[in-house]
Structure 1
């Protein structure tokens, strides 16, 4: 292994220069890790002297991430160590350990590899993971606002591949958001890694539950209605909603549901519909062909929603004119995806406009025909004063439904039969 004397990143033996600082790399045997005035772990060896900590990578609500040298394996690893106050909470520690168990049981090239769960010398706990060089999707969106279609399709396709095995095993990630989508740059495009399985919902038989019924787990902006309500009947379709929210943000530069506070966000998720992405992302040229895809992905009822992340990825790719499925696009070079999308989009938009025009003409024709046959159409145009007094479920297009003629005779017949049955039972 080699290191940079300026930033103390660790690199493989065949690396020559640090891509961040431009410094010539030196063997770790000729260098010493730095010390940090506010963190005694930096420069120390942890977990029985196996891991030598070289630098702080990131901070989170649960813990701090370090880059370390595995002295036994001779490789760079990431150590995610719980904050001291978090390490005192039994449920948090149990969730942390479950993140290790779940991730270790789901080996996949698009899920971060978790290597070990260790207790540290300062009475905390460490998750040992593969070290990734890249950036979170959140960082990309803060800088670039949106993703180009080809990058979005490739990323989404790999996310779908990474989640399929978890969903088949009835494991729900439950905290999918841009912060937990990590992008490793390659010559052909991003290589995606899904992070943080610490909030999973394991619906497999006999799985231990760590969440009290009615508890809300996850990030509000990306949370499905059933997750917002803390419903017990929560499955992989909650992840479909979360991934759709990520897609929406990637193309429009904003989240689909927004409010000043967490509770207000959840109310918006449960009670309103997002603006169509072609409207919300008009400044970025989001095609109208994406609107019906997002509409299906954001259905409030899980039963009406797109049933899998794979199908969501397929529909998004098809909205950009791509042929095939997410399995074809996941590893296709980003430049090739871009060329295919550019070539296909004019025909896609033309078909969408024709379909919209045809649907509008059909609705107009049906309305005109209805006006000739029935006075109800006139009532729709000018509803009676009493119409607003009806319950919403009794209103069709602003007009209270009239009671069908068969209702009164049917109710009367049922009452006669019920009375006869009661009389027969009494006589016995």
Structure 2
């Protein structure tokens, strides 16, 4: 449960309180405390700031975080996708900076998705939140491995390696961020499974759908498509070195002018050739 409250020294805050029915659930309590603890380790303008953590009573754990203006990116995107490329680049750039700070603090987020990003359309400011299923990157490999067929995160945004029992690294967060970019550009996801089982199977065995084939009318520059698809590579080692490298390449593609020769369609070029032939 989340409440809007007035903090004595930090002003308006969002206060998360563990639901009563979960207070005896060891897994739920551990996740809540993990979110609180990891949040205190990351200080960045694009990460929702943790103000205070505590226990208001026996088992009544609370977490006070800054009150970020705007709305969840998921809600905004549903109403506005596809977003203008420049806006996508701005959002991805900010969240990449936030995630890089998370990685620098020795944390893998593991649940990047539009529902875990606050976005203020007025200021174009994006902020990352929710470290509930984050993990330390320096944990022993056996502690970070999950059995094949089991995973943590959100299926629509999770990296393939997280489903197959491989070791999940910061590259998995890059994959999730690229999936967010794909969605903001097209309003679709890289896999078109109609059920969780079908999507699970596709993630494990098939390459993602090329961005410009996501839906009829979706058209981004090939330089942008190639960046997104590289970050969505099934093999983590084929992705960019880190999330900032991905965001920089994406914004470079967005802001690189399309050569004049590439602007005309193949049909217009054929017309030109036919016309020249008629004149000879």
For this structure pair, what is the TM-score category when the shorter chain's length is used for normalisation? 0.7 to 0.9
* 2:196 counterpart of 1:262: yes
Instruction: Give 1:286's aligned residue.
Output: 220
Gaps of 5+ in 1: 1-63, 323-343, 355-428
Query: What is the root-mean-square deviation in Å for CA atoms of aligned residues?
Result: 2.6
Task: Trace 1:368-383 onto structure 2 (pairs within 5 A).
Answer: none
Distance 1:128 1:207 in 2: 32
Rounded to whole Å, the distance in 1 between the matches of 2:265 and 2:138 is: 45
Partner in structure 2 of residue 173 of structure 1: 109
SS at match of 1:255: coil
1:277 aligns with 2:189: no
Q: 1:213 aligns with which of 146, 149, 160?
A: 146
Change (3 A) 1:272 1:206: closer
Which residues of 2 match residues 288-303 of structure 1 at below 5 A?
288-303=222-237
1:29-428 correspondence to structure 2 within 5 Å: 64-70=1-7, 72-73=8-9, 75-121=11-57, 123-186=59-122, 189-204=123-138, 209=143, 213-214=146-147, 215-231=150-166, 233-322=167-256, 344=257, 346-347=258-259, 350=262
* TM-superposed deviation, 1:172: 0.8
Between 1:137-146 and 1:241-250, the stretch displaced more is: 137-146
Q: For residue 78 of structure 1, give the secondary structure of its aligned residue in structure 2.
A: strand
Post-superposition CA distance 1:109-130 (Å, at most 9, x none): 1111011222234843211111
**Structure 2 vs 1, CA of residues 265 and 91 (structure 1 numbering), >3 Å: closer, same or farther?**
same
Deviations 1:108-161 (A, max 9, x none): 111110112222348432111111120111011111122111111111111111
> How many angstroms does 1:201 deviate by?
1.8
C-alpha displacement at 1:287, in angstroms?
A: 2.4
Deviations 1:372-405 (A, max 9, x none): xxxxxxxxxxxxxxxxxxxxxxxxxxxxxxxxxx
Q: In structure 2, what is the Cα distance between the partners aligned to 1:74 and 1:297?
A: 38
CA spacing shift, 1:351–1:301, aligned 2, 3 Å: farther
Mapped to 2, the partners of 1:212 and 1:291 lie a distance apart of 31
TM-score normalized with structure 2 length: 0.85
Distance 1:281 1:82, change over 3 A: same
C-alpha contact (below 8 Å) 1:288/1:352 kept by paired residues: no
Q: After superposition, give the CA deviation of every residue in 1:316-361 in whole Å (9 maximum; x if it has no partner).
A: 1122234xxxxxxxxxxxxxxxxxxxxx2x328829999xxxxxxx
Say which SS state the counterpart of residue 124 (structure 2) adopts: strand
User: Structure 2: 5+ residue runs without aligned partners?
Assistant: 267-280
Q: Quick check: 2:4–2:12 contact (8 Å CA) kept in 1?
A: yes
For residue 282 of structure 1, report the CA deviation from its aligned partner.
4.6
Is contact 2:146-2:162 (8 Å) kept?
no
Query: Do the aligned partners of residues 207 and 276 (structure 1) sit closer, same or farther apart at CA in structure 2, a change above 3 Å counting?
Result: closer
Shift in alpha-carbon separation, 1:67–1:142, aligned structure 2, 3 A: same
SS in 2 for 1:66: strand
Structure 2 distance, partners of 1:104, 1:306, is 28
Distance 1:316 1:208 in 2: 34
Q: Secondary structure, in 3 states, of the residue corresponding to 2:62?
A: strand
Q: Say which SS state the counterpart of residue 99 (structure 1) adopts.
A: helix
Aligned residues: 264
Q: Tell whether the 8 Å contact from 2:193 to 2:199 is kept in structure 1 after alignment.
A: yes
Change (3 A) 1:313 1:267: same
